[in-house]
Amino acid sequence: MDFNLSDDQVALRDAVRRSAANSDQGLPSILDSSSAKSFANHVARCVTGKAVNLMGGYGYSARNPMERRMHDAWGWGIAGRAIDLQQVNIASTMIGQRFDQRR
C-alpha cells in the first residue's frame, strides 16, 4: 500500500472542513461526513502501520505505546462495523437509494 502522508493529510482536512461547513449551514451531507470518517480511519491505519514497521520488532511489543495505537486504529474500524456502515452510506447517497443495514 503506497501512502503519501502530506497528500492524504490535505485531502482529509478538506473532507472534514467540507463536512463541517455543510453542517454549519444546516445542510448535513451524509456523503461528506461518511467519506471523511472512512478516510480518517484509513489514514489512521496507514500511519500507525508505517510507524510500527519503522520501529521494527520493538514496534510490535506490548510495552510500546505505538502498538496500542495501531490496535486502536484497527479496532475503531472493526467495532460496530463502522467502516462498512460508512461505505454503505456513501454508496446509497451516490445512487440515491437507501439500503437496509439491519440484514
pLDDT one-digit tens code per residue, 32-79: 778 778 888 888 888 888 888 888 877 778 888 888 888 888 888 787
Name the H helices within 1-103.
5-24, 30-55, 65-78, 82-95
CA 51, 33, 2, 5: dihedral to nearest 10 degrees?
-50
Q: Who has greater pLDDT, 28 or 59?
A: 59
CB 55 within 8 A of CB 64: yes
What would the mean pLDDT of 7-26 be, rounded to a whole number?
Answer: 74
Q: Who has greater pLDDT, 100 or 55?
A: 55
Query: pTM for this one?
Result: 0.68
What would the mean pLDDT of 70-94 be, rounded to a whole number?
Answer: 80
